[in-house]
A and B are shown apart, each in its own frame.
Chain A
Amino acid sequence: MNDSVKQINEANFNIGLATAVITSSLFAIAQSRSRSRNSTITIADNKTFPIPEKIKIAITTVESFKGLPANWNGYGANPPSENSIRNSIEFLLRLSKKQRSPSLIIPTPDEGIVVELQEENVRLEFLFLPDNSAEVSGYVNNDMRFDHPLTETTEYCSLKWLVCPDGNCDNWE
């Protein structure tokens, strides 16, 4: 993969913003979703999608972090906060709509949760923090290329950056 096409800048995000506006709102989907007990997510227009098995497993993993003991990292860390758990699960449900699944899910020492997605040498880290904030960082070969607060726009653009680096993919979602 050519690193040069993985550069991300404000122009990418502006293009993404326009696209995001004319695309179904992922956040609206999340807010209006009703998660059935095990297997589907219902979005605003009442379309129902099955939750992929990998996402179900990911959600189970996140929920399991509630039971982590104090000092789980050997340096005195506490388990992730309720906010971090809730927001990361909502993000996973949004991901399921895009047919994407995480490559790594871990708690952080500051009571957050990280959800990573990786394609070859390119990686996204979505960090959900106890204060209800969230951030997204992009890496190529472990070099950080961007770090933004997570918003509808940055979520959309970063996912597109990961899977469609040249911006010319049809139906990348």
Chain B
Amino acid sequence: MEIVTIGNEDYLLRRFPLGRPNYIRQDGSVSSFAYCPDKEDTDGLSVDLEKLTNPKKTVVDPNVFGLLKISAGNVRSVPELDCNHNPISGNDAHSLITGNITKGKRSKLVDLSERIPQSELF
């Protein structure tokens, strides 16, 4: 798969758990740990490039996951963060948010994201 350029107007998608466990607070906000890397995420945080996929495909199972959507421009507005297309086997849309995603930056990313309504994911 050819690497595509991610423009600031492009959107990135990130799953978060909403079954058990549930990352949604009582007030409807989503925990910033939705943007927390795990031990294997040494190159960056996995997301999908929306223009190469669709929300129903990215969410995998809408009974278990919700979906956050953030523009690449908003990611890049957070100091020292960037995003790049990084296709992997079985997922041409796979991309990475790169840079040191600290707690404060995770919080910014959630603030800059919108949640895709669950009804649109089935």
Q: Using a CB–CB distance below 8 Å, which chain A residues touch chain B? A: 64-65, 68, 72-78, 103-111, 114, 116, 118, 125, 137, 139, 142-144, 147
Contact = CB atoms under 8 A, between A and B. Distances in A.
Nearest to A75: B46
A106 B11 CA distance: 27
A137 B104 CA distance: 9
Interface residues of B, number: 28
Given A109-B33, A110-B36, A144-B103, A73 B15 contact: yes
A91 to B, nearest CB: 17
Nearest to B32: A142
Contacts of B41: 75, 109
B60 A74 contact: yes
A142 B110 contact: yes
A74 B107 contact: no
B25 A108 contact: no
A146 B60 CA distance: 36
Contacts of B33: 106, 108-109, 114
A64 B20 contact: yes
Interface in B72-118: 103-104, 107, 110-111
Closest 10 pairs (CB-CB, A-B): A109-B38, A144-B104, A74-B15, A106-B21, A77-B38, A109-B36, A108-B33, A110-B38, A142-B107, A104-B25
Contacts, number: 67
Contacts of A103: 25-26
Contacts of B15: 73-75
B31 A104 contact: yes
19 contacts: A64-B20, A73-B16, A75-B15, A76-B38, A78-B38, A103-B25, A103-B26, A106-B21, A106-B31, A108-B36, A109-B33, A109-B36, A109-B37, A114-B31, A114-B33, A116-B25, A137-B103, A139-B107, A142-B107
Contacts of B36: 108-110
A58 to B, nearest CB: 13
B40 A76 contact: yes
A87 B20 CA distance: 21
B85 to A, nearest CB: 17
A65 B37 CA distance: 18
A106 B107 contact: no
A106 B22 contact: yes
Interface in B33-66: 33, 36-41, 46, 60, 64-65
B75 to A, nearest CB: 17
Q: Which of A108, A116, A147 has the most CB of B within 10 A?
A: A108
Contacts of B103: 125, 137, 144, 147
Given A111-B38, A147-B104, 16 more contacts: A68-B21, A74-B15, A74-B17, A74-B65, A76-B40, A106-B17, A108-B36, A110-B37, A110-B39, A114-B33, A116-B31, A137-B103, A139-B107, A142-B110, A144-B104, A147-B103
